[in-house]
Structures are given as C-alpha cells and as structure tokens.
Chain A
Amino acid sequence: MSTELEPLADPGLPHHVHRKADTDPAAEKRAERQVSILFLLSAAGTLLFIYSFIWIPTDVFVFLPLLGNTNAHQLGIGTGLGLALFFIGAGAVHWAKTLMPDEEVIAQRHEMRSSDEDRASFVETVKEEAGKVQLGRRSLIKRSLGLALGLVGLSPLIMLRDLGPLPEQSLLKTTWDKGIRVVTDPGNRPLRPEDLEVGAIAHVLPEIKDPEHRKLSDIAKDAAILIRVRPSELKLSEERMAWTHEGIIAFSKICSHMGCPVALYEQTTKHLLCPCHQSTFDVPTGAKVIFGPAARPLPQLAITVDDEGYLIAAAPFDEPVGPSFWERNI
C-alpha cells in the first residue's frame, strides 16, 4: 500500500435535481396558480391605489394600532402602490424559480490577459501609426493642440462662477451697528433692560425700517440672543464686561461651527447648546466652547441703552459671525 497522500479527487458538478413542477403535473398547476395569484394581488394593489387617489378625501383619518391617527388617503396610495410593485416582482421571481426552463449552463472561466503575440502586435501597430502621423516632427501642431485641449478642459471650472453672486463683504459684516435698537424676533418690538428678568432669554434682530421685508439672508447672520444673568455671575474681562448691560449679555445666535441657531439655553447651568452638533458654550465666560466641534466662542455683541431706555448695540460685531470661511482672519 502506498503511504503517499492522494490529492482529493475533483468532486465534479452536483447532480442536477429536477423541481417538482418539472415532473409532477399537479405541482406544475399549483405553481402556475401561485404565480397568477401573486400577479392578481399586484393588480388589487393598483386598484387600491387608484381608489384611494380618487375617492378617499384628503382629510380622512383612521386610527391604526402602532401608527396612531393616520391619513387614509396617503395610507391607501402608499400601501396600494407598494403592494402593486412588490407583487409584480414576487410573481416574476416565483415564476422563474418554479416554472421557467430549468437548464443549467456551464461557462468556463478563462484568463483575462491577452496572449503575448496579441500584445506585441498591438504595440507594433501603435508605434507604426504614430510614425505615420509624424507627431514627433510637427512640434508646433503638438503644442498648439495641447494648449487647445488644456483650455477647453478649463471651461467647466469657469462656469462654476455662475453658481451665484460673490459674497463680497456680506460674510464679514452684519446689519448690527452702533445705536441700532435690539428688537424681538418675530414681533420687532424694542426691548428695555427691565423686560428681561434674571434667567430670561430673548431672540432678537437689529431694528430696520421695513421689518415686513426683512431678508432671510440678513436674518441668517443678524440673529442674536439676549440672556440675563446676575452681573456677579459673569466672568469676563473688563473690556467685555463693558459690552454687557446690568447682567444682560448678547451673543450672535449663529454657531461658529456650521451656522445653526445656537439657542438651547439651560437656565440652571447657563450653557448654550447648538441643536445640530451639541457644541456647548458657557455664557458667563463669554460663550467659551466647553464641548463639541465649535472652534471659537460665539461673537459677543456690545450692548447698552439709548436715551429712551431701550437696548441698542454699542458697536457692530468685532469679528465675522458664523462658521469659518477661507478669507476669515481667525
């Protein structure tokens, strides 16, 4: 007896097993029925879709367990079309699996690489044709073609300019300026210091002549918040302390991370949170970032009161509000 190990013999392809429907006429009939039932279910789904679209009014609600009060019109449309599409697919799959010709085709895999002769002859052809074109000799043509192709490639980049007007100074400046009154958002009412008690917050905008037509693009950078704390709780430099008024401190509401409205204010911890990425700003220390992805504190707005006792901005923001951009000097 040989002690050498025999390699495992090639087991070959598995034996072809016929399906029941191939051999048993009753099973074939049954499979046919099943396929047509699936298609009929699809048709029923379409009918439900059409019925819901036309005859169920849009304000009818039905109570469903788990889903609660649900709009019957939308529910019928969605369920109907969903069933219609699903059962066409299910029917087709079941048909293919049970009744379509059950032939097994074997396709052998070949190497992807071309033969060495083919590769050599291809290189030969390229060289020969390139010689005929005389590109090496006609350098003027070669260079001018290079320029033309390069420039035409630039044209899509030029068209990027059409994406919108250039920001100009709009990213650097807001509407806030010295003497502009602080008004509520919405409502546009001026505020006095006594309107805010300790623990209060107010969402504000700068006063403008025509508040009915305030531009959304202006609100997006002008939005600010007023928060009142006890003056003794503020831990600010003398300069920044002068920017507050009797414990009222104003910040830009636009997050220095991605520009979301930072307005989750926790009265107990005096933290301002951004709802988008949970950047957390500590109000008493001048909105210092204590958690989250924001890189800078929220810009503080210097405020004071005018002769009539209303809160006004004492100066414009001393830095651009909102997220970073290329031209911003940190």
Chain B
Amino acid sequence: MAPGLLVVALFLIGGIYSIAATPDNATASNARSALIEEGKNIFMRGCSSCHGLNAEGSGIAPSLIGVGAASVDFQVATGRMPMADMSQQAMRKKPVYSPEEIAALAAYVASLAPGPAIPTAEQLNYERDGNVAEGGELFRTNCAMCHNAAAQGGALTAGKYAPTLMGVEPVHIYEAMITGPQAMPVFGDQAITPEEKLSIIKWIKSVESEGSYGGASLGKVGPVTEGLLGWVLGLGSLIGIAVWLATKAR
C-alpha cells in the first residue's frame, strides 16, 4: 500500500513540477510555432495557388521568401492581397482576413527568411517623434512626384497609379516605405531614417486633417480639376450671361 501511494505521490509532484517549471520562453516558442503553423495553413488555402506551395513564387506571383512580416501586413491588411483580379495593380480594398489571421500569415512568411518586421506602436509614435515641417520637405523630395504634392495620388504608366495616402493607417505608410510594394521603390533606413519616416507620416496626417483654406480644394489634384471647372462652369455661365444680354426684354 505504502509504496503504491509513494509512487502516485512522486508522480503527482513530478507532474506538477514539470508543468509549473516549464520555462516561459518555451511556452512563447510553442505559441510562436502554433502561430506559424496556423499561418502556413492559411497560406496553403489562400495564397499558395499563386505564390507556390513553399512561397517560392511562380510565373504570375513573386517569391515571398525574405519579404518579411511588414510586407505581408501591408499587402493583406490593406486588402491588396489576395488580389481580386490580375490587372495592372492590386488596389486597396476591404481586407479579406482578420487581424489575427494576418498576424499568423505574417509570422509564417517571416519564418521563411529574415525580412523587415512590422513596426511596433512604440516605433510609430509619430505625434511625439515626427516633425511636420521636416516631413513636408522630405515628402516633396521623395514622394510628391508620384503621390502628388498634397498626397492625393497620381497616375503612372500603363494603367498603374500611385494611390492616394488619405485615410491610410500610419503603420501601412511606414511598411510601404520599408518594403516598396508593387511599383514603389524601397526607401531604406539610411535614405530616410525611421524618425524621418515618422515626420513624413505626421505631415500626411496633417494634410488629411487640414481643412481647405482657400475655399473649395477641388480634390487638391492641381490644374486638371481647376481647368475643368474654369472652362465648363466659368465659360458656361459667361455664355449664359451673353445670351441673356442679347435677348430683348418684353
């Protein structure tokens, strides 16, 4: 009886100890593996038909090895991926996956090879670390040619376009700069430092929240809408007035 009890007691103590003493990093690593595993499952179902079973890419889609979590978060969380159709450019739309699924996908792709990570909230404190004036200068030198001087977006070649930056999450603006999605080039951390990136984001956010000081902004896209309005509405009303002037009063 006593040896039996002893065995049971030892077994219990040992079991409890082994559970209680499991190191935290082991749990974290297990959770990480589980996340990567979940991400791989989502990838297999939703992405592998184009990007290949091992994310190695194919004739119609690029390899995702080494693109990093930031690239996945940008493409999937802005709804660009999965692509709705194989046209010139993937456009921003409602995301297909939930934030948890996107995190899993990002973890899976990041596990394939090192690449840019998703910036943390602490790294993205643009209100604290950014400078609007500096951001404007950087934007005009680096971004305005494609995205328009007021960040409203603009046309590129063959049906491609630089999208508007209005209403884009700061984290996605940051990720676009470090990963260079689609036709956009990469702006590395030496070409534009992380603080300078935050200044650019702060400037974009200030443009977004700023009202139109000169009256109607006409979309802030420059001479096209201004000319259209001038010619159609301005000249149209002048013609109307000319007709009124020439008719004889009764």
Closest chain A residue, CB of each to CB of B216: A67
Instruction: Assign chain B's interface to a size class.
Output: 35 or more
In the complex, which residues of chain A have a beta carbon less than 8 angstroms from the beta carbon of B187? 200-202
- Contact partner, B145, options A20, A191, A199, A263, Cβ 8 Å: A263
Query: B193 an interface residue at 8 Å Cβ cutoff?
Result: yes
CB <8 Å contact, A280 and B193: no
Q: A195-B188, A264-B145, A273-B156 are in contact. Are A70 and B196 (CB under 8 A)?
A: no
Q: Is residue B236 within 8 Å, beta carbon to beta carbon, of the partner chain? A: no
Interface residue B59 (Cβ < 8 Å from any Cβ of A): no
Chain B residue nearest to A97 (CB atoms) is B249
Within 8 A of A (CB), among B133-166: 134, 137-138, 141-142, 145-146, 154, 156-158, 160, 162
Q: Interface extent on A, as a size class?
A: 35 or more
Q: A189 on the interface (CB 8 Å rule)?
A: yes
Give A192 to B186 CA distance when docked, in angstroms: 15
User: What residues of chain B lie closer than 8 Å to A269, measured between beta carbons?
Assistant: 157-158, 183
Min CB–CB distance A13 → chain B (angstroms): 14
Contact with B along A63-85 (1 / 0, CB 8 A): 00011111100110010000000
Q: A199 vs B158: C-alpha distance in the bound complex, in angstroms?
A: 20
- Selected contact of B245 from candidates A17, A93, A203, A280, CB within 8 Å: A93
Contact yes or no, B184 A187, CB < 8 A: no
* Contact digits for B7-24, partner A, Cβ 8 Å, 1 yes 0 no: 000000000000000000
**Smallest Cβ-Cβ distance to A185: which chain B residue:** B141
A61 to B245, CA, bound (A): 37
Q: B128 contacts the other chain (Cβ, under 8 Å)? A: no
Most buried by B among A97, A98, A266: A266
Chain B residues with CB under 8 Å of A78's CB are: 215
Inter-chain CA distance A267–B62, complex, in Å, is 13
Closest chain-B Cβ to A115's Cβ sits at a distance in Å of 37
Q: Is B230 an interface residue (CB 8 A)?
A: no
B87 at the interface (CB under 8 A from A): no
Report whether A70 and B216 are in contact in the complex, using a CB–CB cutoff of 8 Å: yes
A250 to chain B, nearest CB (A): 13
Q: Does B186 lie within 8 Å of A267, measured CB to CB?
A: yes
- Contact call A267/B180, Cβ cutoff below 8 A: yes
A200:B185 contact, CB within 8 angstroms: yes
B-contact bits for A258-276, CB 8 A (1 contact / 0 none): 0001011111110101010
Asked whether B182 is an interface residue with its Cβ less than 8 Å from the other chain, the reply is yes
With A203-B142, A264-B156, A269-B183: A69-B212 Cβ-Cβ less than 8 Å: yes
Is A136 on the interface with B (CB-CB < 8 A)? Answer: no
Evaluate whether A191 and B190 lie within 8 angstroms (CB atoms) in the complex, with A75-B215, A266-B156 already known: yes
